[in-house]
Amino acid sequence: MDICLDKIHVSRKKVFSFVEKLKVKNGYKYTINHDFNKYPAALLYGTWSAVYLNELCGVNDADKIVKKCVLKTLENYRRSDGIYFPKALEDAKYPKSKEYMYLHCYNYTVGACRLLNPDFDFQSKYMDYFLDADHLERWLNQRSLERPWEESNNIVNVASYLALCNENGNSIGKDRLYQMLEWHNRVQNPRTGGFENFSPNRKNILQSMGGAVHNFHIHHYLNEPMKYEELIGQNVIPFLFEGPLTACLSIDFVELACKSLPFMKDSFELEQALLFHLNALLAYQNEDGGFFENETSKKPTTANGMKEDTASSNSYATWFRMCSIGMISTTLLGDSPENWRFRDTLGMGYYQPKRFKEINTLDVDRKILKKYNRINFPHKLIKHAIEIGVKLLSR
Per-residue pLDDT 10s for the chain (395 aa) are 576 899 999 999 999 999 999 999 879 999 999 999 999 999 999 999 999 999 999 875 556 667 888 999 999 999 999 999 999 898 888 888 999 999 999 999 999 999 999 999 999 999 999 999 999 999 999 999 999 999 999 999 999 999 999 999 999 999 999 999 999 999 999 999 999 999 999 999 999 999 999 999 999 999 999 999 999 999 999 999 999 999 999 999 999 999 999 999 999 999 999 999 999 999 999 999 999 999 999 899 999 888 899 999 999 999 999 999 999 999 999 999 999 999 999 999 999 999 999 998 999 999 999 999 999 998 888 776 666 655 555 55
pLDDT value of residue 194: 98
390 CB-contact burial (10 Å; exposed 0-12 / middle 13-18 / buried 19+): exposed
pLDDT value of residue 391: 58
Q: Is 224 helix (H, G, I), strand (E, B) or coil?
A: coil
pLDDT value of residue 389: 58
Buried/exposed code over 77-100 (b: 16+ C-beta within 10 A; e: otherwise): bbeeebbbbbebbeeeeeeeeeeb
| CATH domain 2-364 topology | Glycosyltransferase (1.50.10)
Buried/exposed code over 356-373 (b: 16+ C-beta within 10 A; e: otherwise): beebeebebeeebeebbe
**Which amino acid is present at 89?**
L
**Which amino acid is present at 299?**
K
pLDDT value of residue 69: 83
> Cα dihedral sign for 236, 238, 244, 245?
negative
pLDDT value of residue 386: 63
Do 318 and 22 meet the contact criterion of CB atoms below 8 Å apart? no
Angle between helices 172-187 and 148-167 in degrees, nearest 10: 150
E strands in 206-359: 302-303, 306-307
Q: What are phi and psi of 364, to 5 degrees?
A: -105, 140
104 CB-contact burial (10 Å; exposed 0-12 / middle 13-18 / buried 19+): buried
pLDDT value of residue 383: 73
**Cα gap 304→317, rounded to integer Å:** 15
pLDDT value of residue 26: 79
Do 216 and 259 meet the contact criterion of CB atoms below 8 Å apart? yes
Q: Is 307 helix (H, G, I), strand (E, B) or coil?
A: strand
pLDDT value of residue 96: 87
Residue ranges of the domains in the chain? 2-364
pLDDT value of residue 61: 57
